[in-house]
């Protein structure tokens, strides 16, 4: 996602560990002024958040945007439910896939695209414990191979 004009704010590494991400969507997010200022300072977390579709609209729950320090009375609740902006045909497509058991929507990352705040959401299937163990084993093998390569090249 390292395209020109984008700046990563928050990343949800745990989502890729816990789910097989099959599809990703880019959504805008409806924010208030002080929330945007806080996000510009990097004060945003999506670790414990999830996405739901209600009445044909998409909302993100549990996304923490810290209050802006100079915002006083204009600050909003840090954990308020935020609306995601998607086209209706995309929402219908996602809702159809969510009807299949085992699928869930999770936010993967929050970033600036130009001056707009965007959220990348992923449609994923939950991993079983043995799948997670396989991922950990692969990561360990890769790390060990890199270590061996580094040691070999030092001598």
Rounded to 5°, angle at Cα 139 from 151 and 7: 100
Helices H / strands E in the chain, number of each: 4, 9
Low-confidence residues of the chain, pLDDT below 50? 1
pLDDT given at position 4: 62
pLDDT given at position 28: 92
Q: What is the pLDDT of residues 51-61, one digit of tens each?
A: 889 888 999 99
pLDDT given at position 3: 60
- CA dist 39 and 99 (Å) reads 33
pLDDT given at position 65: 83
């Amino acid at each position: 996602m390292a395209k020109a004009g984008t700046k990563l704010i928050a990343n949800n590494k745990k989502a890729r560990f816990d789910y097989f991400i099959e599809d990703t969507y880019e959504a805008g997010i409806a924010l208030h002024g002080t929330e945007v200022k806080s996000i510009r300072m990097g004060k945003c977390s999506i670790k414990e958040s999830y996405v739901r579709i209600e009445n044909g609209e998409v909302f993100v729950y549990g996304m923490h945007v810290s209050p802006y320090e100079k915002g006083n009375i204009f600050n909003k609740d840090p954990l308020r439910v935020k609306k995601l902006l998607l086209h209706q045909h995309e929402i219908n497509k996602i809702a159809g896939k969510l009807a299949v058991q085992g699928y869930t929507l999770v936010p993967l990352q929050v970033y600036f695209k130009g001056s707009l705040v965007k959220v990348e959401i992923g449609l994923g299937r939950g991993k079983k414990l043995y799948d997670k163990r396989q991922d950990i084993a692969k990561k360990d093998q890769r790390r060990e191979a890199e270590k061996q390569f580094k040691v070999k090249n030092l001598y």
